[in-house]
Chain A
């Protein structure tokens, strides 16, 4: 649904987006993750037809963002980062205005507004001036606007910034629900959020995509190795040798604890199951067996640090 090829954007000499490529498949939620100033908003603005790229191409729902800008704009639902709205308008007036801008006739507009209002819990704010609304309500008005025309693609720029925890949870639930009909690309600098709702993640840093994949793939990349902690009831030497023989085990450290053997295992695969089966086979009781899951946070930090190191290295080379 979204296809980006070698997209670059320069503001004067400053490079905001540097030759990125990615695709978003139908009915998936893709999280666009990166520190502030990484190029997320610029990429999103190119995809929504707000600004043209310096080079490269992007297609949204089959339309080129430069050559068929109006077609792209009519099928995309877009929530800009700061949720700009007209403070002097009432919520209903605003949604009605946006419906007209999208060329909907009155019956379609009324039905669309009713549906969007219900989905975004806006019913009680409908007649209030936007200028008096709280941040959470403003966000919902923006989201209702983005959903109004049943877009083929939803592009949301930091949709949960400034919301309270309940609203964040509600918004995430809504996004998951919406992903059933629309592919969603949304940006965020909050890891937990991306981890909670996205099927795929793109990590962008200084205008480049430095990693992409599913949550699990990215986690697996953190160290390559997993750490399994196990405590089995059995003689230390026997337990240690048996575990070492299992497939994929890199290293085992064992300590005795009054008849129990505490193992700290580094493995290339999911050693948890193997250890569990081994213990069952030998009749060793199991007191603890857990796999330390590397968090996405670890990955994020590692990816960005790696990128910085590579860059520093490149600068050294140039000298």
Chain B
């Protein structure tokens, strides 16, 4: 536990020492704020006090920002050679990967926490449904859990941060956008299958206040899969 904690702590320290952390956080808050202003009509008197319109496009924004947040994790260790000092310390590959993953997640939660201003404002000026708010934030956290694992996997593949970002962001963006726009074109069982990967749709359920077990399982399983693959990639670097 101490080893895992040490890795998480060091990773957070490094993250907050780099400008990327602040750019990602500022970018997220700025875009969320801009969307809120564009949707200002939705918050007039008599309208439902819901956050749905603010966070509608958040999964898409996260496909860009989460890979930027996690692109350093392993790439930077490879590039600077500190990977060697980590791999020759008495720490298992899984401990190292999971410690770094936790740090990224903590950062992500800090980033999300900044948007709590919107439900709080709603509480001041209206009467939001806190169950719905809770479900929405659960959806956001689950999105982060899955996206962060995938972004770390991308980072484990290359020593170049920019490449890691593109490898992380492109597939996520394609998946989120293409499935969202294509799902209506399919019929019957094909639609059922495609629907499974509809991240916008799955997030939409949480945003409406519906906590579905299969959604929770989908995001958690994705995270487990990519964390496992990341550990395998890290292990395989020894064999080259």
**A residues lining the B interface (CB < 8 Å):** 11, 45, 48-52, 70-71, 73-74, 76, 78, 80, 82, 84-89, 93, 97-98, 100-103, 105, 145
Is B89 on the interface with A (CB-CB < 8 A)?
yes
Q: Which of A49, A93, A103 contacts B2 (CB 8 A)?
A: A103
A293 to B169 CA separation, bound complex (whole angstroms): 66
Lowest 10 A-B CB distances belong to which pairs?
Answer: A84-B81, A100-B6, A74-B90, A88-B17, A84-B82, A73-B90, A101-B89, A48-B88, A97-B10, A80-B84
Whether A80 and B90, one on each chain, are in contact in the complex, defined by CB atoms closer than 8 angstroms, is no
Question: Does B80 reach chain A (CB closer than 8 Å)?
Answer: yes
* Contact in complex: B84, A88 (CB < 8 Å): no
Residues of B close to A84: CB separation below 8 A: 80-85
Complex alpha-carbon distance, A50 and B2, angstroms: 22
Residues of chain B within 8 A (CB-CB) of A49 are: 87-88
Q: How far is the CA of A52 from the CA of B87 in the complex (A)?
A: 12
Contact A11 B88 (CB under 8 A): no
Q: Would you list 15 pairs from A and B whose C-beta atoms are within 8 A, ordered by A residue?
A: A49-B87, A49-B88, A51-B238, A70-B90, A73-B90, A84-B80, A84-B81, A84-B83, A85-B82, A88-B14, A89-B13, A100-B3, A100-B6, A101-B91, A102-B90
In the complex the two chains form, what is the Cα distance from A93 to B240 in whole Å? 32
Chain A residues with Cβ under 8 A from B6's Cβ?
A: 97, 100-101
Q: Measured between alpha carbons, how far is A101 from B17 in the docked complex, in Å?
A: 21
Q: In this assembly, does B92 line the interface, its C-beta being within 8 Å of a C-beta of chain A?
A: yes
Bound state CA distance, A309 and B90, in angstroms? Answer: 43
B5 at the interface (CB under 8 A from A): yes
Q: Which residues of B (66-88) have their CB < 8 Å from a CB of A?
A: 80-88
Q: With A49-B87, A73-B90 given, can you name 8 additional A-B contacts, CB distance below 8 Å?
A: A51-B238, A52-B239, A80-B81, A86-B82, A89-B10, A93-B13, A97-B10, A101-B89
Contact with A101, one of B3, B80, B240 (Cβ below 8 angstroms): B3
**Cβ–Cβ contact A101 & B90, under 8 A:** yes
Q: Does B18 contact A (CB under 8 A)?
A: yes
Query: Nearest chain A CB to B126's CB is how many angstroms away?
Result: 44
Asked if B90 contacts A88 (CB within 8 A), the reply is: no
Judge whether A86 and B3 touch: CB under 8 Å.
no
Closest Cβ neighbor of A71 among chain B residues: B90
* Chain A residues with CB below 8 A from B9, complex form: 97
Q: Which residues of B pack against A, CB within 8 Å?
A: 2-3, 5-7, 9-10, 13-14, 17-18, 80-92, 238-240
Q: A98 near B17 (CB under 8 angstroms)?
A: no
Is A76 a contact of B88 with CB atoms below 8 Å? yes
User: How far, in angstroms, from A71 to B82 measured CA to CA in the complex?
Assistant: 20
B238 touches A50 (CB 8 A): yes
Q: How far is the CA of A59 from the CA of B18 in the complex (A)?
A: 41
Docked pose: A80 CA to B84 CA in angstroms? 8
Contact A102 B82 (CB under 8 A): no
Q: Which of B5, B84, B89, B92 contacts A102 (CB 8 A)?
A: B89
**Which residue of the partner chain A has the closest CB to B85?**
A84
B238 touches A80 (CB 8 A): no
A51-B238, A73-B88, A84-B85 are contacts. A100–B2 as well, Cβ < 8 Å? yes
Bound complex: CA of A319 vs CA of B18, how far in Å?
59
Bound Cα distance A169, B113 (Å): 54
Given contacts A52-B239, A70-B90, contact A103 B84 (CB under 8 A): no
- Interchain CA distance A86-B230 in the complex, whole Å: 22
Shortest Cβ gap from A135 to chain B (Å): 15
User: How close is B236's CB to chain A, nearest CB, in angstroms?
Assistant: 11
**Contact indicator B89/A73 (Cβ below 8 Å):** yes
A51 to B238, CA, bound (A): 5
* A103 B82 Cβ-Cβ under 8 A: no
Q: Which residue of B lies closest to A155 (CB)?
A: B88
Chain A nearest Cβ from B21, distance in angstroms = 11
How long is the Cα–Cα vector from A48 to B84 in the complex, in angstroms?
Answer: 10
Question: Which residues of B are found within 8 Å of A145, using beta-carbon distances?
Answer: 85
- Tell me the smallest distance from the CB of B238 to a CB of chain A, in Å: 5
Closest Cβ of chain A: how far from B215's Cβ, in Å?
Answer: 37
B85–A80 CB distance below 8 A: yes
Could you say which residues of chain B place their CB within 8 Å of the CB of A105? 2
Report A-chain residues with C-beta under 8 Å of the C-beta of B89.
73, 98, 101-102
Bound-state Cα–Cα, A26 to B239, Å: 30
Q: Are B10 and A70 in contact (CB under 8 A)?
A: no
